[in-house]
């Protein structure tokens, strides 16, 4: 089976802003391949940035077609543990990013992101991003 990919909010923002960018074209290819999965934290982050009902309806329709991975107690615990581990090293990563990363680790997925916070997460597999 091909690697499953959780697409981070940073990539979705690019996708909705500029559908012709190299990163957006990469995401379109991954969407057609059926390898893209959604987690609740990404959905919530995308929806919080929407300005109109029309945009919200479009985004929800797009997101509803993606396979969804539930975030259970184990994922939340792992995110908290990762946060504590990184803070002991002087690294602060937003809890939202740690929840996405913990979901990816739990479900054996890669993360497609342009957010450098994910570089600090041990055990996380990053999906190679398209060059600009």
Identify the sign of the CA torsion 128, 125, 63, 66: positive
> Does 132 fall in a domain?
no
Tens digit of each residue's pLDDT (9 = 90 or more) over 74-125: 999 999 999 999 999 999 999 999 999 999 999 999 999 999 999 999 999 9
Supply the pTM of this predicted model.
0.92
Residue 124 is predicted with a pLDDT of: 96
- Segment 37-43 shows an average pLDDT of 96
Residue 9 is predicted with a pLDDT of: 95
Residue 7 is predicted with a pLDDT of: 97
Each as own residue / partner, the long-range contacts of residues 90-97 (CB below 8 Å, 24 or more positions apart, any chain) are: 91/120, 93/117, 93/118, 93/120, 93/121, 96/41, 96/45, 97/8, 97/121
> Does 89 fall in a domain?
yes
Q: CATH number of the domain at 52, please.
A: 3.40.50.1010
Residue 1 has pLDDT above 60, yes or no: no
Residue 16 pLDDT grade (very low, low, confident, very high; cuts 50, 70, 90): confident
Cα separation, 75 vs 125, in Å, equals: 16
Domain that holds residue 26: 5-126
> Does 93 fall in a domain?
yes
How many independent structural domains does the chain possess?
Answer: 1
Token duo for residue 110 = 């890669």
């Amino acid at each position: 089976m091909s690697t499953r990919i959780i697409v981070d909010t940073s990539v979705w923002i690019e996708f909705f802003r500029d559908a012709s960018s190299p990163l957006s074209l990469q995401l379109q290819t991954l969407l057609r391949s059926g390898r893209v999965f959604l987690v609740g934290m990404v959905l919530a982050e995308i929806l919080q940035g929407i300005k109109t009902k029309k945009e919200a309806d479009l985004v929800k329709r797009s997101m509803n077609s993606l396979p969804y991975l539930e975030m259970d107690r184990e994922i939340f615990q792992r995110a908290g543990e990762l946060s504590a581990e990184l803070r002991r090293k002087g690294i602060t990563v937003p809890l939202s990013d740690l929840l996405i990363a913990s979901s990816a680790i739990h479900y054996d997925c890669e993360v497609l992101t342009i957010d450098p916070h994910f570089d600090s997460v041990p055990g996380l597999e990053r999906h190679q991003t398209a060059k600009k």
